[in-house]
Structure 1
Amino acid sequence: MNDTNNPGDKPANKTLTLKRPIEQGTVRQSFSHGRSKTVVVEHVKRRHEGGKPAAPVPAPAAPAPVASAPAPVAPAPTPRPQKSSAPRPQTGVVLRTLTDDERDARARALNDARAREEEDRRRQEADAKARTERESRERAEREAAEARKRDEETRLAREADAKRRAEEEARRRLPSAAAAPQPAPQQPEKEPAVSFAPTRGSRPQQIVFHTPKPPQAPTPTPQPAAQQPAAAASAGAAPAPRSDGPAPLTPRMRPMTAPKLAVPAPKPTRGAEKQRGRLTVTSATASADGEERTRSVAAFRRRTQRMKGVVEQKERLSREVILPETITIQELANRMSERGVDVIKLLMRQGQMHKITDVIDADTAELIATEMGHTVKRVAESDVEEGLFDTPDAEETLQPRPPVVTIMGHVDHGKTSLLDAIRRANVVSGEAGGITQHIGAYQVTSPLGGLVTFIDTPGHAAFTAMRARGAKVTDIVVLVVAADDGVMPQTIEAISHAKAAGVPIIVAINKIDKPDAKPERVRTELLQYEVQVESLGGDTLEVEVSAKQKLNLDKLLEAITLQAEVLDLKADPERAAEGTVIEARLDRGRGPVATVLVQRGTLSVGNIIVAGSQWGRVRALIDDQGQNCVHAGPSFPAEVLGFNGAPEAGDRVAVVESEARAREITEYRDRQKREQAAVRGSGARSSLVDMMSQLKATAGRKEVPLVIKGDVQGSVEAIVAALEKLGTDEVAARVLHAGVGGITESDITLAEASNAVVIGFNVRAHKEAREASERLGIEIRYYNIIYNLVDDIKAAMSGLLAPTLRETMLGNAEILEVFTITKVGKVAGCRVTDGTMERGQHVRLIRDNVVVHEGKLSTLKRFKDEVAVVQPGQECGMAFENYQDMRVGDVIECYRVEEIKRTL
């Protein structure tokens, strides 16, 4: 390839000079692939010294492009400039010398070409070597296949020869059979053909299948090995592979061999086969000389019993049948190993018509099983809870535990302040309105060194259920009574709860630092409710304390410790934990959170627990100080994280051994809830008479639909209970939904469908719920004090009550004359006899002591002037609204109607 190329490199950092004249020319380049290219070449003239032109400097040839051929292209030699003595005109192209960078690039290109050539050569050698090895391996495999084929053909020839000799020997030994006439040709039968499929071992696997046999098969004769494939093909076998091109065996190409030939045995005729009868042990073992077969003794006995009508009774097996509360007849028969028909017959004899798929109760099933000679074991669905609670502990495993103390009393008597003074905390500041609306559990250390667990309960009247729960789980009740207020309604309720739970009471007379405090008054009032303190000769401990001044707090703790020693409280910390849910809520960040008081055993992280219809695995335990803990022993309150839903306050908590058991228990409790709800719903509509009476009772009743969401389960329960107490025969609050957690979009949808008001107690609505409420116009009311919530709902319900109408008598007038006025109608001329008459008020027209008309006074005139009031003894003119039948002598009674707003 010849080419000329000017790389066109720009001069770098050259001084400013005059531009030299440039001449351009074209050079055509030719490449090895048949392509050509025209290149423009510039020629710069050089200025001659002394008027003589400078000798042309030949430019070096451009480096050849690297081709893909194996041999590299050698660079063209650079011609040396030749000097001429005489000046000659410039012709051709002036070539320049190569720079150092260009020479380096050219050398690198040559080296790369040599390296690629070497790599291609090594790759070709490796391919040739691999190809040689593969060909040798295939050649060895073909030779092995041909050797196996020759061995197989030799073996088949030997077998055919042996069979032929055996057949000849058989014909020679049985000449009579050969001379006998041949039977009529029958249908072609199938004879076994043998094929050999390649296996992983050295020997092929034998596969037998049947091919049609011709009616008259000639005696086979030995064939040479070369003709075996053709014979095998005529017999129905697959053709053998060709010898000129052996190929490896595949699953679809199985070499077939010639069929094995056996000596034909004489077969009985078709009539003989029909007369043979059923193949039994007797016929198989009978002698060949045709002796007569007889019945066995057992068969003869059975025949005799059938003829006499005697049915042999089978011996029945008595089984223990497990019966649930309801069972189908088919399942009962299966458990007794009896026929379902027999069970139905027994029921029909008892006068009951059933199908096999009908469900019967446990009592009927027990009667049937007992009648059929089986024993019965009754079980119920509630058996899944057996052993879950109240398992007795061994005496040697019991250890002392801290007492559980519940603070109870009237609202604003200082219960939480007293507990804060004992704990050195400030819980009151966190409660809305300064009143406790949640039940809390705390653990403190007494001055004597022991631990004491306190449960703080609300004192508001709406939190009766919370106080009842606190009294159930406690060991000691501390009754807080304000010295300046005395015994109040919630104090009496707390005494009742403590007596119902059977726990001792310690009276704490609080606020003794006030100037109007009267502790003796408190002691005297408690006597009315059978609470006699020690100072009055009773057995109830009492302590005068001041939560504000922190007076006698150590005495109160000593009294609690003394009472706990008398009770001798013990528990087994090594057993599975049991406890009670004090409070439960739905935390947006942590999920369902339950405050659990462990009563027996030890609760650990990772345990599987069940509480009501909820279960879960304990993910974390948090104490009253907000610290994570791994274990919670007896009388230890802790927040438990890990439930799949918020349990109800008051539910008992137990640790189970597996998730399957937990699911079984919770599913059973869910079914119980649904069934109870269905029973309540069906009970309300049990009959048409009940339905009509219910409609008649609620016909004029107005309802306030509500959707309530609270922070904890106890608060929601208290709110619903308080609203239910507000209801009357005329108006009531209907709670559509009450739950724990923030207000969601589904709550707004429910409220929109029922035209209800959404109430949030210590919770807020989610962003989507707020947008939906604004879009649909649903009102959301937020509260953090239960007083305000109950008062607002009460006011709303009072607004639905019909007002009370009260009449106030104004005066009486007598009609003296009736005038007819054009365009006005009849006007009564009257004299006021008693009281006053006012325009626009209600009037009654009385005739002969009978009320004829009730309406309003539309016109009241004195002479020609309209007046508002007519005094007694004066005459006036009156006209009624929409009434004209007035007569002389009628009495007009005027009265005022006042509407009085009713309240609940």
Structure 2
Amino acid sequence: MSDTDGKKPLGLGGGAPRSGQVKQSFSHGRTKSVVVETKRKRVVVPAKPGATGAATPGANPHLGDPSKRPAGISDAEMERRLAALKAAKAREAEDNAKRAEDEKLRGEDRARRREEIEAKEREERARLEALRLKAEEEEAARKAEAEARIAAAAARKADVLGTSRRQPAAPASADKPLDRGDGPAPAPAPGEAAVPRTRNLAPALAPRKSERERDERATDRDRAKTKGDEGRRAGKLTLSDATSDEGGRQRSLAAMKRKQEKARQKALGLGQKSEKQVRDVQLPETIVVSELANRMAERAADVVKSLMKMGMMVTMNQAIDADTAELVIEEFGHKAVRVSDADVEQAIETVGNDRDEDMITRPPIVTIMGHVDHGKTSLLDAIRKANVVSGEAGGITQHIGAYQVTTENGAVISFLDTPGHAAFTSMRSRGAAVTDIVILVVAADDAVMPQTIEAIAHAKAAKVPLIVAINKMDKHGADPTKVRTDLLQHNIVVEAMSGDVQDVEVSAKTGMGLDNLLEAIALQAEILELKANPKRAAQGAVIEAKLDVGRGPVATVLVQNGTLRKGDIFVVGEQWGKVRALINDKGETVMEAGPSVPVEVLGLNGTPQAGDVLNVVETEAQAREIADYREKAAKDKRAAAGAATTLEQLMAKAKADKSVSELPVLVKADVQGSAEAIVQALEKVGNDEVRVRILHSGVGAITDTDVGLAEASGAPIIGFNVRANASARNSAHQKGVEIRYYSIIYDLVDDIKKAASGLLKAEVRETFIGYAQIKEVFKVTGVGMVAGCIVTEGVARRSAGVRLLRDNVVIHEGTLKTLKRYKDEVKEVQSGQECGMAFERYEDIRQGDVIEIFEREEVQRTLA
């Protein structure tokens, strides 16, 4: 069987292939021939000029041949493309020139640094050479001195030996053994010097040893020099060169590359180790080990090792306290700077940094306040020439509306319309807190009412000027004088009564006095000199917040300072986000909003609380850190409030709650302000016996989670201007959870009151219907003690309750077991008739006792 198994060999296809064979080698001496094909490279020869047809007559010569253009390209388009190509080439030339200039500057910088490094190296080499020469001189001096001392000692020895030869030989002592030979000492060999026979010959051999050491040191220096100078090997490494011992070990190619790289870095000054930088490390109450290492710019492994030396077996993901972290910081040579968790809010720029030259005049923020049904929204409609009332359920405002109005003379005014119902107190207080001017709307036919007084209190608390708008002047019976007089009781003295508060008579229906009202607003704004800095980071107040199904959390923000732009990163209360879109009061998408401009902001990560302050920060990390800190602080505050309760207080509360009936409800509203107002209104419903407990309140549609919570608690779900989605509706139907929808807060509060009234215990009223006196007491077998009585007053009934009186003291209260007239059981006995009575489970009756007969009636109670 062939190698190809009858199949065609693989080829590249096309062209004119050239075939060949390649021989493959395998282990154990096996080989295999493989047929391969190669494809010639296609060579494109440019066409000679004039080879193609002549250009189209009348065509622009610099545009090229029209026949070679892509289909549909006109001369104008071709010119535009050529111009773009020319501009691109020009930009490329400029870039190349700039790059060359930068490269030249970098080269000069590198050369300058290289010269400085070389100068330093030369100085260092000269210093080392001077030190080496000095050391050699000192060494040579020491050697010369040692040689001189040795020579002097040898000379003294020789003199001593010569003197001893001239003296007669001393007799041998008994302690010193004699030589074996009695003859003279052997003569020295030819060429040898006579060496004296003495034991101390080492000093004579010392010069030879020092010469040997000097030769060895010279050899070592030559070897080291040879080893240091050996460079990259030349030519290929053959088998004979590798096995021979000549030349020693040679450097590899990788070693030579490393050496060249080190030399290059040293020339550029990159190899020098920089000095350790001492850092100021910000240290919170607790910090994670990895974060601590990051702030010190040290390796996390080194920090963990340092902690382990202290006896703390921690990982890089564990948190340590500030004291331990401070010890670690000092050990690494840095400085610890203690910071509080609250310092994260220092990233928010304060308003006090504004310069006078950056301040510009801003539009006034005007809040319309007053009693319900006094015509606040209708007045704003007349100013806006729009119809907002028709969009509000029941004709009452239940949200804070924010609008901008441009007057006929071009002045811009920002209006806030607040609800007037008693349940929306917090909304009115928020409106007064962010406003510059308050317009107090009072109906001329109704005068000052409770919410009017409350609006005056809010305006005084916020220290903002008032303008009184006396509305409904077109109605019959309008009495503006009564309004002005009633306002005197609340320290509001209008200009018509020689005061300093402006008052304007208007009619929202006919449009009377609206120009005067706008003029009064402009005058008041001019007196206030309202200014803001549009160039700083934006700051604003959240007027309203809601959870939109399609857009997510949406906050209505009134910008108070700076300019809020699309893409800004901000923090608002416990939430943060990035501005995804800005929508003005007309529903138009804008790119930025300046001071006093109300806009809807999209891009929050959660629904903020109405009244929160929005601040723009630089980075997402700062926004997230501030929001996390605020959330943690709020959680700790709630936990601290719960922890402050003592065990005795908890037990007393539990005992008190046993007698209190609760109506649990779950509230979902369209906006945060409405949810807040509903919760506050429902918390006021109830008394000492029954109360309403809010399980959960939020904004947005009713979901399966809400249904599950309501089912677990047996609570109804209250939807205010929201609806349940399809899944939640099916789930509520299956689980038997009641969902009630409302659009007017009056109806909601009234229904909850009725439901809470059903939990009240019915009031029991007693009605006395008769008295009977015991004349005789009998004992009847099977019945017990039976009293023979006479009904002295009213009537005695079998179903009524009875009390036994002895000397006008109640000694028993219960029910009758039997009521007989003669031998027959009867339902009732009239006054003046005799009867027999027996008590249920009571037989201590005596002659002369009085029986009091009464009936109980239950009366259903309601909450006020």
Question: Normalising to structure 1: TM-score of the pair?
Answer: 0.61
1:668-683 aligned within 5 A? 668-683=629-644
2:19 pairs with one of 130, 134, 137: 130
Answering whether residue 759 of structure 2 is matched by residue 800 of structure 1, we say yes
Which residue in 2 is equivalent to 1:752?
711
Please give the per-residue CA displacement for 1:299-349, whole angstroms capped at 9, x wherever unaligned.
xxxxxxxxxxxxxxxxxx9996755345799999998x9x99999xxx9xx
Whole-angstrom CA distance in 2 between matches of 1:810 and 1:643: 71
Please say which of residues 885-894 and 759-768 is displaced more in the overlay.
885-894
Tell whether the 8 Å contact from 2:540 to 2:558 is kept in structure 1 after alignment. Answer: yes
* Structure (1 or 2) with the greater helix fraction: 2
TM-superposed deviation, 1:134? 9.9
Once the two structures are TM-superposed, the CA of residue 835 in structure 1 deviates from its matched residue by 3.4
Partner of 2:811: 852
Is residue 388 from structure 1 mapped to residue 348 from structure 2 by the alignment?
yes
Does residue 1:524 correspond to 2:485, yes or no?
yes
Q: The residue matched to 1:131 in structure 2 has which SS?
A: strand
1:404 to 365, 377, 390: 365
- SS of the equivalent of 1:672 reads helix
Q: Pick from 791, 810, 813: which aligns with 2:769?
A: 810
Per-residue Cα deviation, 1:93-152 (whole angstroms, up to 9, x for no partner): xxxxxxxxxxxxxxxxxxxxxxx9xxx99989955x3317999xx99xxxxxxxxxxxxx
- Confirm whether residue 584 of structure 1 aligns to residue 520 of structure 2: no
Query: Cα–Cα, structure 1 residues 617 and 358, in superposed 2: closer, same or farther, change >3 Å?
Result: closer
SS at 1:515's partner residue? coil
Cα gap change, 1:495/1:368 in structure 2, threshold over 3 Å: closer, same or farther?
farther
- Other-structure match for 1:719: 678
Shift of 1:638: 1.2
Change over 3 Å in CA distance of 1:898–1:259 after alignment to 2: farther
What is the correspondence of 1:695-844 to structure 2 with a 5 Å cutoff? 695-819=654-778, 826-844=785-803
SS of aligned partner of 1:653: strand
Give the direction of change, closer, same or farther, for the CA distance of 1:123–1:802 in structure 2 (3 Å limit): closer
1:474 is paired with a residue whose SS is coil
Change (3 A) 1:319 1:634: closer
Unaligned runs of 5+ in 1: 1-68, 70-115, 140-200, 207-227, 233-255, 265-316, 348-352
Matched, 1:614 2:575: yes
Give aligned-pair identity as a percent: 58
Q: Conserved in 2, the CA contact under 8 Å of 1:726 and 1:794?
A: yes
8 A contact 1:486–1:525 mirrored in 2: yes
Q: Greater CA radius of gyration, 1 or 2?
A: 1
CA shift for structure 1 position 409: 1.0
Supply the AA of the counterpart residue of 2:449: M
Cα distance between partner residues in 2 of 1:263 and 1:761: 94
Is residue 2:260 matched to residue 1:260? no
Q: Does 1:443 align with 2:388?
A: no
Within 5 Å, give how 1:531-550 maps onto structure 2. Answer: 531-550=492-511
Are residue 452 (structure 1) and residue 413 (structure 2) matched? Answer: yes
CA distance in structure 2 between the partners assigned to 1:488 and 1:683 by the alignment: 41
Aligned partner letter, 1:395? D
3-state SS of the aligned residue for 2:556? strand
1:819 deviates by: 4.4
Q: For 1:391-432, what per-residue CA distance to the aligned partner results, in whole angstroms no more than 9, with x for missing partners?
A: 331111111111100011111111111111111111111111
Q: How does 1:227-266 map to 2 (within 5 A)?
A: 257-258=242-243, 260=245
Following superposition, the deviation at residue 369 of structure 1 comes to 12
Tell me if structure 2 keeps the 8 A contact 1:329–1:360: no
When residues 869 and 534 of structure 1 are mapped into structure 2, their CA distance, relative to the original with a 3 A threshold, is farther
Contact kept, 8 Å, 1:571 with 1:601, in 2: the verdict is yes
In structure 2, do the counterparts of structure 1 residues 260 and 673 end up closer, same or farther at CA, with 3 Å as the change threshold? farther
Using the TM superposition, give the Cα deviation of residue 656 of structure 1 relative to its aligned residue in structure 2, in angstroms: 2.0
Are the structure 2 counterparts of residues 121 and 720 from structure 1 closer, same or farther at C-alpha, using a change threshold of 3 Å?
closer
Q: Distance in 1 between matches of 2:16 and 2:243?
A: 46
Amino acid at match of 1:381: D
Change (3 A) 1:384 1:331: closer
Q: Evaluate the alpha carbon distance shift between residue 332 and residue 428 of structure 1 in structure 2; reply closer, same or farther with a 3 A threshold.
A: closer
Separation (CA, whole Å) in 2 of partners of 1:733 and 1:202: 97
Separation in 2, partners of 1:123, 1:900: 105
**Residue 890 (structure 1) aligns with:** 849
**Alignment deviations for residues 442-495 of structure 1 (CA, whole Å, 9 cap, x no partner):** 111224320111101111111111111100110000111122222222111111
Q: Normalising to structure 2: TM-score of the pair?
A: 0.64
Q: Choose 557-566 or 518-527, whichever is displaced more.
A: 518-527
Q: Give runs of aligned pairs for residues 256-335 of structure 1, distance below 5 A.
A: 257-258=242-243, 260=245, 322-325=282-285
Contact 1:620 1:640 in 2 (8 A): yes
Q: Distance in 2 between matches of 1:325 and 1:721?
A: 38
Task: Find the aligned partners of 2:743 and 2:857 in 1 and give their Cα distance.
Answer: 38
Q: Is the 8 A contact 1:801 1:903 kept in 2?
A: yes
Q: Quote how far apart the aligned CAs of 1:855 are.
A: 1.8
Name the CA distance, whole Å, in 2 between partners of 1:748 and 1:395. 56
Question: Which letter maps to 1:774?
Answer: H
1:888 Cα offset (Å): 2.1
Deviations 1:253-282 (A, max 9, x none): xxx942536899xxxxxxxxxxxxxxxxxx
Q: Which runs of 5+ in 2 are unaligned?
A: 1-5, 25-31, 34-232, 250-276
* Closer/same/farther in 2, CA of residues 495 and 837 from structure 1, 3 Å limit: same
2:466 aligned partner: 505
Q: How many residues align?
A: 613
CA distance in 1, matches of 2:717, 2:554: 24
Paired with 2:15 and 2:398, the residues of 1 have a C-alpha distance of: 92
Secondary structure in structure 1 of the residue aligned to 2:684:
helix
User: 606, 626, 633: which one pairs with 2:587?
Assistant: 626
Letter in 2 for 1:805: V
Q: 1:826-865 deviations in whole A, cap 9, x for unaligned? A: 5433222233333412110123433232123455455566
AA matched with 1:386 = Q
Cα distance between partner residues in 2 of 1:421 and 1:123: 84
Shift of 1:721: 1.2
Q: For 1:637 and 1:728, locate their aligned partners in 2 and report how far apart those are by CA, in whole Å.
A: 41
Check the 8 A contact 1:578/1:653 in 2, yes or no: yes
**Displacement after TM superposition at 1:568 (Å):** 0.9
**What's the secondary structure of 2:644's corresponding residue?**
helix
State the secondary structure of the residue aligned to 2:752. Answer: helix
Equivalent pair of 2:580/2:603 in contact (CA under 8 Å): yes
